[in-house]
Amino acid sequence: MKEYDALSEPEGISSFDPKAFKDLKKSEEWKYDPIEKAEEFLQPFQPSGCACVLLNGTLVPEGDGQKLLTPKDKVEAQAFSILKRRFRIEILEGKSRIEVKNEGEEDCILLSLYAKAGQNSNVLLTFDGKGKAIYFLEVEAEEESCVSITVLCQGEGERFIYDTTRISSMAKVKRNLLCLGTKFTRYTSRAFFSGSHAEAEMNGIYFIHGDGFAETRVRVAHGLPDCKSRVSYRGALLGSKAKSAWVGESIIGKDGKGSDSYELNKNFVLTPGAKSFSEPQLEIKNGDILAAGHSSSVGYFDPNQIFYLRSRGIEEKEAKEMIVSGFFEELLSQMGSDEAKEEFEQFCRRTGGFNGSQA
């Protein structure tokens, strides 16, 4: 674990002791979160044991899943101290579906996904349910593997998810996230390279409605030479009390010679009053790189676009639907998951998200 910590985050606090971290109210990292809600997850609780994991419809027994990195924040450390149930899945060749369901009040589990060397896999992983939960997701892609994992978060549950991806030499990993209509979700995604000439593609869509909140924190660490990363996230907010935050970090370490990194975040505010925060960060400790950059934006319906479409005989509701659909279409296609695209379209129809009005 110490070896991986050095590759992922050589600086900053890392500890299994929750007391090593500042109180949430005093920490810059928690400035976007509703603190009262986040602090609920710090209260000691006994995991209910109700959460279950299914692989292609078959119940997965508990196993020996391991955590790749030392906790980096107070909630993560507190959750790991009460962790009792672990699951480990060797990812299948080709397509597979993994479901994590939680109907209990409170739970905490760790799920490890392992892809063998040279393997080609496409996984849809869903987190669903009404309960409050903290999940650890650990993904390992060995040499020359090609792995695509799409994570779908939905339902009325309140959850923290700590997601870590280790990418070996010559491996290519695509990580997709869809966070749709959740009440409270804080998703922390970390990727790091344990070998050179590897690639990471991190895509995400979050669609928040009502008084929901979602924060996504994405960190890619280039600790070894000649690796490539692309981060692309898009979000939309529907409802005057909806709130989202996106924090992207690309870290090129002193041994990251030849790194190629770019991160992008775009947000679409569909309802006046909704709040969206975007914070891209780039840290470079080695000047001998191919490229590094970032971009972010927060926008609204453009009256000129709507006027143009209406002048072509298109009703305003349909015009807004076309604009919102177009905003997400490129990224949905890039994800390469038909199931995820279908889930997203169904969600938009249920909530009125395509035309900027709640059903």
Tokens (6 digits) for 288: 């001998």
Q: What angle do CA 313, 318, 321 make, to 5 degrees?
A: 140
pLDDT of 359 reads 40
Residues forming beta bridges with residue 87, ordered by sequence position: 111
Q: pLDDT per residue over 156-213, tens digit each?
A: 778 999 999 999 999 999 999 999 888 899 999 999 999 999 999 999 999 998 899 9
User: Which DSSP category does 60 fall into?
Assistant: P
- A 10 A CB-CB count for 242 gives 25
Is 144 a domain residue?
yes
pLDDT of 56 reads 95
Q: How far apart are CA 285 and CA 280, in angstroms?
A: 17
* CA proximity to 290, closest of 203, 201, 220, 229: 229
Q: pLDDT per residue over 305-328, tens digit each?
A: 888 888 888 888 888 888 888 889
Which region holds residue 332: left if phi is over 0, alpha if psi is between -120 and 50, else beta? Answer: alpha
Cβ neighbours of residue 200 closer than 8 Å, sequence gap 6 or more: 165, 167, 173, 175, 191, 193, 220, 227, 228, 229, 230
Residues forming beta bridges with residue 261, ordered by sequence position: 229, 292
Is 297 a domain residue?
yes
Residue type, 207: F
User: Which DSSP category does 25 fall into?
Assistant: G
pLDDT of 3 reads 61
Q: Is the pLDDT of residue 340 over 70?
A: yes
Q: pLDDT per residue over 39-87, tens digit each?
A: 888 887 888 888 899 999 999 999 888 888 999 999 999 999 999 999 9
Alpha carbon of 13 to those of 19, 113, 226, 282: distances in Å? 11, 26, 27, 19
Q: pLDDT per residue over 220-273, tens digit each?
A: 999 999 999 999 999 999 889 999 999 999 999 999 999 999 999 999 998 899
Is 350 a domain residue?
no
Residues forming beta bridges with residue 37, ordered by sequence position: none
* CA proximity to 68, closest of 169, 156, 140: 140
3-state secondary structure 221-267: EECCCCCEEEEEEEEEEECCCCEEEEEEEEEECCCCCCCEEEEEEEE
Range of the domain at 294: 2-301
State the chain's mean pLDDT as an integer: 89
For every residue of 119-156, DSSP letters joined together read -EEEEEEEEEESSEEEEEEEEEE-TT-EEEEEEEE-SS
Average pLDDT score over residue span 77-99: 93
Is 220 a domain residue?
yes
Assess contact for 195 and 171: CB atoms under 8 A: yes
Is 349 a domain residue?
no
Assess contact for 113 and 138: CB atoms under 8 A: yes
76 SS3 class: helix
pTM, entire model = 0.92
34 SS3 class: coil
Is 215 a domain residue?
yes
Q: What angle do CA 308, 313, 314 make, to 5 degrees?
A: 75
Count the domains in the chain: 1
Is 354 a domain residue?
no
**Distance, C-alpha 290 to centroid of its chain:** 26
Is 335 a domain residue?
no
3-state secondary structure 269-281: ECCCCCEEEEEEE
Quickly tell me which residue has 């070996």 as its tokens: 168
Quickly tell me which residue has 């409802």 as its tokens: 239
Report residue 354's pLDDT band, with 50, 70 and 90 as the boundaries: low
pLDDT > 90: percent of the chain? 61
